[in-house]
A and B are shown apart, each in its own frame.
Chain A
């Protein structure tokens, strides 16, 4: 079988995973199932437990209680070197004394694969990650992006059933990050390997993953497709963590509606006990138009290329961000009087801060 052939990924399941470090709870009963061949992003703020969960699959950390199942078998007691999981690390992890080719061939060498086979496999993998001519170079002769490509090839060299990516792009330049992001997605799809990708970069998670699991304080907040997560966040935390969100004071009016900025909108999901709430609205759902009689004022204008972000002050001093197509924003400078309308679809509300 060649490397590039589609391999069968394994199903991974976290069951009631709990891990504490002293008084800090890193994982607090995490339950999560990852389908074979799926690319799942673990997303969350620092300290949410996403890296701890990943390291448990690799065998570098162990739960206080709970199970990590790969294809239904609990691997918690299996030593790290016996697990069928390839990992790419956040920091550059290539062995400095070995060339790129020898780094990739390291795993097969440990497994006593013969020299000719492991050399051929290493060259094939290096070509697959776009470095067909860099095999003889040492890590210090490679750029950061190239090093992470070699690390990816090394992780794939033993044809693992699970690929673990621990923020592998975070140390790279923005441009390299974008390119590598696309290449990892392409490779993952071609190989069909189950992949768990830890990141704190929501854009990375949304653009690459089949599903995104948002973690907070060691618990799963929501696991859904990127589109679902963005448009139908299960909790206020997810709504605010994923993408940009406005918090606008509103008042519940009963019958599942909330009054905000002079409009009545249907409420999505749970409703707090208090009448006064914060309404969560995405900047693209705030429509702004020039109106000499408008009660709102443009405060700042930020050009973002295809879109322009306006910071608008509503009557009463509440500020909201609004994203407009750049052409529509032409002529709306700071101080301009505008009219603000909110998109009519259901909104999520949170307890007032």
Chain B
């Protein structure tokens, strides 16, 4: 028995080491590439250049803004819908599940081709209607709402799964009725009772959306918006080391955000009084 446990432990260790190597190797190689410059030896130049690199702050700022807007929009759409479905079970639950999962099976290129066609054709066909201004507004470079709407659709499957597992863990109808019985309005039920108890899954959904937006390239590139990933790829042509250094840094930032969100998600609410 003890021998079997030792063997199992050895296997666990081996698998863990292999997985670690699989993840670490490209990161280490990338890091070495950014600091080891032929002819100059070890240098941190690639990292010190980042802040001053033209377009870095604009790209990062835009992507973070898009991420925040997408998180707010997708949660504002999905949370009330899923809570409503939990309170009144019926066929609508299945409809919402299918709708939220659908983006997984639509290839991003097909998705963006559709959006691109609409954004291009719309202003031509609707030039004499008020919708013309709307089409222009959603493509504003400073805050391209078209991207927020696209990312919201892409984020639906992840947000749905995360919230679904959170809602399964609590008895939504009973908690809602208990809160209503204590005098809470529907808004208070949502804000004071349901959302605090969905903290972990909300944090998970927000993080997945953030990671998706910070890493999304195809749609932004084809719709010609210079988000953070688009900027990284653009820079990689002329400043390969800088581009890899920024990628590593963005990975680090994402991990830190993950840590912050997950600790916020698991923290128990302190005494409310």
Chain A residues close to B by CB (< 8 Å): 58-60, 80-82, 85-87, 89, 91-99, 101-102, 105-107, 109-111, 115, 118-119, 136, 138, 151, 154-155, 157-158
Most A Cβ at <10 Å: residue of B181, B183, B196: B181
Majority secondary structure, B binding face: helix
Q: Is the CB of B180 within 8 A of A98?
A: no
Of B170, B171, B183, B196, most buried by chain A (CB within 10 Å of CB) is B183
CB proximity of B98 to chain A, nearest CB, Å: 25
Which of chain B's residues have a CB closer than 8 A to the CB of A154? Answer: 178, 182
Query: Which residues does chain B contribute within 8 Å of A105, judged by CB atoms?
Result: 272-273
Select one of A58, A107, A157 contacting B177, CB under 8 A. A58
Complex Cα spacing A155 to B178, Å: 9
Which residues of B have CB within 8 Å of A91? 171, 174
B196-A60 in contact (CB<8A): no
Q: Contacting A138 at CB < 8 Å: which of B180, B185, B268? A: B268
Which B residues contact A (CB, under 8 angstroms)?
A: 170-171, 174-175, 177-185, 188, 192-193, 196-197, 199, 268-269, 271-273
Asked, given contacts A95-B193, A97-B197, whether A110 binds B182 with beta carbons under 8 Å apart, the answer is yes
CA distance A119 to B273 in the complex (A): 8
In whole angstroms, what is the CA distance A95 to B181 when docked?
Answer: 13
| Distance between Cα atoms of A87 and B183 in the complex (Å) | 11
Say yes or no: B174 contacts A93, CB within 8 Å.
Answer: yes
Contact check, A60 vs B268: say whether CB atoms are below 8 A apart: no
Q: What are 21 of the A-B contact pairs (CB < 8 Å)?
A: A60-B177, A60-B180, A81-B181, A82-B183, A86-B181, A87-B177, A87-B178, A91-B171, A93-B174, A93-B175, A93-B178, A95-B197, A97-B196, A97-B197, A102-B271, A102-B272, A102-B273, A106-B179, A110-B183, A154-B182, A158-B183
Residue in contact with A87 in the complex, picked from B175, B181, B192, CB distance below 8 Å? B181
- The interface residues of chain B lying within 8 Å CB-to-CB of A81 are 180-185
User: Do B181 and A118 touch across chains, with their CB atoms under 8 A apart?
Assistant: no
- CB B51 to nearest CB in A, in angstroms, measures 40
Give min CB distance, B167 to chain A, whole Å. Answer: 13
B178 touches A89 (CB 8 A): yes
Residue in A58, A119, A136, A138 whose CB lies within 8 Å of B181: A58
B-side contacts of A89, CB under 8 Å: 174, 177-178
User: Other than the known A60-B177, A95-B196, what 13 A-B pairs have Cβ atoms closer than 8 Å?
Assistant: A80-B180, A80-B181, A81-B182, A81-B184, A85-B181, A89-B178, A96-B170, A97-B199, A97-B269, A102-B271, A110-B183, A110-B184, A158-B182
Q: Taking CB as reference atom, which chain A residue is nearest B169? A: A96
Chain A neighbourhood of B171, CB < 8 A: 91-93
Contact B183 A95 (CB under 8 A): no
When chains A and B are docked, how far (Å) is the Cα of A82 from the Cα of B177?
13
The smallest C-beta distance from A117 to any residue of chain B, in angstroms, reads: 11
Cross-chain contact B183 with A99 (CB below 8 angstroms):
no
**How long is the Cα–Cα vector from A82 to B184 in the complex, in angstroms?**
9
A97 touches B268 (CB 8 A): yes
Q: A93-B171, A97-B196 are known contacts. Are A118 and B273 too (CB-CB below 8 A)?
A: yes
Q: Which residues on the B side are within 8 Å of A102 (C-beta)?
A: 271-273
Q: What is the bound-complex CA distance between A60 and B175, given in angstroms?
A: 13
- The reply to whether A59 and B183 contact each other, CB–CB distance below 8 Å, is no
Cβ of B175 and Cβ of A95 under 8 Å apart? Answer: yes
A111 contacts which chain B residues (CB < 8 A)? 183
